[in-house]
Amino acid sequence: MITIALTKGRILAETLPLLDAAGIHPNEDINSSRKLVFETNEESVRLLVLRGADVTTYVRHGIADLGVAGKDMLMEYGLTDIYELLDLNIARCRLMTAAPVGQRRIDGKRQRISVASKFTNIARQFYEEKGVNVELIKLYGALELAPIVGLADEIVDVVDTGNTLTANGLEPRELIAHVSSRLIANKAALKVKYELVRHWSDKIGDAVRAQQPAAAGTDRGR
C-alpha cells in the first residue's frame, strides 16, 4: 500500500479532480467528512488530509509515501528526505511582500524594518539576499492586520487575486516566487516501493498533462 498526503482547502479542491482522472476515488465524500484517513477504490492507495505545513513532515518521516504540497511549503521547510516529482499546475499564486498603500519604501540597508510572515525562513533569505536589515515576526494568520496596527512594516504572504490586501489597505510590492502545488515523494519510499509509487505518479502526471490546455484558458494571470 502507498499513502498519499493531501493538503486541506483550495489545494484539496483542485487535487481531487486530478486523482479522479488518475483513477483514485475516495470511498466516501472527503468534503463532508471530518475523518483524516480515507480508503479508496484502489486497495493499494489510501489518503490522508492534513494542514499544508504538516504534509511535508508526514512525507519526510515516511508516514506518507507521496504528498501534495504548495511550493511555498517546500521552500519554507526544505526538501530533506523528499523528492519533488511533479508540478501539478494547480492552486497557483504568488509569494510576495506587501505594505500599506502609499507607504514610502523603507531603506532597509540604513534602518531595520519589521516583517510579519508565517514564511520566516523564506523571508529571511529574501531580505538577506537584498542586504536588508530585518526583524521577523512569526504569525500564522491575519497577516494583513500587522501593518495596520503597527506590528510590522511589511508582510510576506501568498497572493492570489489580491482582494484581501486591497480590502485591508495593502498593496503587493516585490515578487519572491511563483507558487503552485507539487507532487512530492519520500526518498526511501521511492526506492522500496518504486513500482507502486512510479505507477501512481505517472497516472497523476498523465492527468496533469490532460488538463493543461484547459488550465491555460482559465489562468487569471496571477
- 222: pLDDT strictly greater than 60: no
79-116 pLDDT tens trace: 888 999 999 999 999 999 999 998 887 776 778 999 99
pLDDT for the residue 108: 65
Give the sheet arrangement for strand 82-87, strand by strand: 37-39, 45-50, 2-7, 66-70, 181-186, 82-87
2-12 pLDDT tens trace: 999 999 999 99
Report how far residue 138's alpha carbon sits from residue 64's, in angstroms, rounded to the nearest whole number: 28
- 66 CA to centre of own chain: 15
Q: Report residue 214's pLDDT band, with 50, 70 and 90 as the boundaries.
A: low
Residue 141 CB: number of other CB atoms within 10 A?
A: 7
Full set of structural domains in the chain with CATH: 2-91+180-218 (3.40.190.10), 93-178 (3.40.190.10)
Give the per-residue SS3 of 68-111: EEEHHHHHHHCCCCEEEEEECCCCCEEEEEEEECCCCCCCCCCC
Higher per-residue confidence, 31 vs 64: 64
174-213 pLDDT tens trace: 999 999 999 999 999 999 999 999 999 999 999 999 987 6
Work out the mean pLDDT of the chain and round it to a whole number.
Answer: 92
- 68: pLDDT strictly greater than 80: yes
Can you give the pTM of this predicted structure? 0.88
18-62 pLDDT tens trace: 999 999 999 999 989 999 999 999 999 999 999 998 999 999 999
CB 172 within 8 A of CB 94: yes
CB 76 within 8 A of CB 119: yes
